[in-house]
Amino acid sequence: MAWKNRGGPESSSRNLVSRKLTIFLCISCFYAGMLFTDRWWAEPEAKGISKPTGTEAENLKLLADGCNTKSELRRGSKGIIGDVLKTHNAVQTLDKTISNLEMELAAARAMQDSIVTGSPISDDLTLPNSRKKRKYFMVIGINTAFSSRKRRDSVRATWMPQGDKLKKLEEEKGIVMRFVIGHSATSGGILDRAIEAEEKKHGDFLRLEHIEGYLELSAKTKKYITTAVALWDADYYVKVDDDVHLNIVRMLREGTLGATLSRYRSKPRVYVGCMKSGPVLAHKGVRYHEPEYWKFGEEGNKYFRHATGQLYAISRDLATYISINQHVLHKYANEDVSIGSWFIGLDVEHIDDRRLCCGTPPDCEWKAQAGNICVASFDWSCSGICRSADRIKDIHKRCGEEESALWNASF
């Protein structure tokens, strides 16, 4: 009993402390577990799917932004393409407007020239082109000079119709034929007055706003084509020298140009003539010297292919191209080289026809007897018919066609 009394109170006190300490420890462990769980416990992951790290999340964000940008670009590209198409259409419209203005300017200059020189004003210049211009088959410009009165008379007496027949040729056959000449350095001088008197008598001149001179043939040809395009809407524009014999019917019906209308209709840029490629003459003092010889490479090189200057023809598209770009087309010393150079880089059909450069009798006569009548005849040694004013009548008799063939032919 004594032992129980001695140990009873102490044991009761220890049990009380033990209970309090146990409760305290339990509560402490609970809060410690809560704290540990919030800080370290990871969210459960879906099977097969890992949670992205910080770097991967940034990459995903960039990809998402990129997708949004691409979609915006695709939407923007449609707008850009639309703007480009609108700009392209505007440029085309502007080009057409500029072309029309160029044509009107050329027509206005030709009208002004007619007023100054007293030459008859073409009806085509007095009214807008869209209402007044008719369609022609061909315009033939015969290059001439102030000193070539005898040559012109010999051409009139042989292969060029005169008076009412010249007008009939235009109205019924659609063929316009004119002597082409500019003005003298002294405006209104004796040379100009002589041409004016000749024009009043024959009515077969096309006067150009151009100062005549042998070294200015390239400029004259450019001015002729520009003026002809403004005055007459033709399929072809021809340049021929006044010392060349021409068979018009053969040229149109069975020759190169008539056949070209059907054979080369799909290629509207046509350049017809006797194609050649002569040497570039670098030495001064020689005939046909080329001052810009260095542009053609080493000494001894040849020119590019081009039609000989005595006779050639170009289609409407090429003539219009020259008219529109006349101010930027370079002029070489030799006219035939200049013409050929203007077509380099263009999609042009070069047609080489040797019937446009036959020799004078007996060459053209033999060919005529064989049924192969030449379109044009001249002497290569003279770059035309030697002494043409004296010889062209005989050449026409031996190599030419009857006048009735012209009016019986249909082109």
Beta bridge partners of 205: 179
Closest C-alpha to 189, from 173, 170, 163, 211? 211
User: What is the 8-class DSSP label of residue 375?
Assistant: S
Sign of CA dihedral 283, 284, 290, 293: positive
Answer whether residue 145 shows pLDDT above 60: yes
Token pair for 207: 């006067």
**What does the CA dihedral 189, 190, 195, 197 come to, rounded to 10 degrees?**
110
Measured at the alpha carbon of residue 394, what is the angle toward residues 388 and 400, in degrees to the nearest 5?
Answer: 100
The overall pTM is greater than 0.95:
no
The string of pLDDT tens digits covering residues 271-319 is 999 999 989 988 888 888 889 988 888 888 899 999 999 999 999 999 9
Higher pLDDT, 300 or 105: 300
User: What is the 8-class DSSP label of residue 340?
Assistant: H
Closest C-alpha to 231, from 340, 118, 348, 141? 141
Beta bridge partners of 38: none
Burial of 13 (0-12, 13-18, 19+ CB in 10 A): exposed
| CA atoms of 63 and 52, how far apart (whole Å) | 14
| CA atoms of 292 and 310, how far apart (whole Å) | 22
Please provide the average confidence, as pLDDT, over all residues in the chain: 79
| CA atoms of 207 and 190, how far apart (whole Å) | 16
Least-confidence region, from 17-21, 115-119, 259-263, 352-356: 115-119
Task: Please tell me the predicted confidence (pLDDT) of residue 115.
Answer: 47
| CA atoms of 148 and 155, how far apart (whole Å) | 11
Task: Please tell me the predicted confidence (pLDDT) of residue 2.
Answer: 45
Closest C-alpha to 139, from 342, 373, 314? 314
The string of pLDDT tens digits covering residues 345-381 is 999 999 998 889 999 999 999 988 888 888 999 999 9
- Number of helices (H) and strands (E), helices first, in the chain? 14, 9
DSSP per-residue string spanning 333-376: SSHHHHHHHHTTTS--EEEE-GGGGBPTTTHHHHHHHTT---SE
Answer whether residue 127 shows pLDDT above 50: no
